[in-house]
Amino acid sequence: MRVAPLTLALSIVVACQRADHAPAAAQADRGQVIRATARQSLATAAPAPLEPGLDSACAVAMRLTREALGLHVARDTATNFASPREKQLPWHGCRLTGSSPGVQRDPANPVMPGGPLQAAFLGAGWKDDFGYGADGPDGMEMGMRKGEVLCHLAISYPGLDAGDDDSATAPVSQPLKAIPYSLVIRCTRNAPPLAG
Q: What is the pLDDT of residue 71?
A: 87
pLDDT bucket at 96, cuts 50 / 70 / 90 = very high
Q: What is the pLDDT of residue 179?
A: 75
Phi, psi of 41 (to 5 degrees): -65, -40
pLDDT bucket at 9, cuts 50 / 70 / 90 = very low
Question: For residue range 156-187, what is the model confidence (pLDDT) as tens digits?
Answer: 887 655 454 444 444 445 556 677 889 999 99
Question: For residue range 31-83, what is the model confidence (pLDDT) as tens digits?
Answer: 444 444 434 434 445 666 788 899 999 999 999 999 998 888 999 988 998 88
Among 193, 194, 185, smallest CA distance to 81 is for 185
pLDDT higher than 80, residue 133: yes
Q: What is the pLDDT of residue 15?
A: 43
**Mean pLDDT, the chain, integer:** 73
Region of 27 on the Ramachandran plot (φ > 0 left; ψ -120 to 50 alpha; else beta): alpha
Q: What is the pLDDT of residue 174?
A: 52
Phi, psi of 58 (to 5 degrees): -65, -40
Question: For residue range 141-153, what is the model confidence (pLDDT) as tens digits?
Answer: 999 999 999 999 9
Percentage of the chain exceeding pLDDT 90: 34
Q: What is the pLDDT of residue 42?
A: 40
Q: What is the pLDDT of residue 22?
A: 45
pLDDT higher than 60, residue 100: yes
Would you say 61 and 68 are in contact if contact means Cβ atoms under 8 Å apart? no
Which of residues 94 and 161 earns the better pLDDT score? Answer: 94
Domain residues of the chain, as ranges?
3-44, 52-189
Among 8-12, 20-24, 180-184, name the one with the lowest average pLDDT.
Answer: 8-12
pLDDT bucket at 196, cuts 50 / 70 / 90 = low
Among 79, 142, 90, smallest CA distance to 113 is for 142
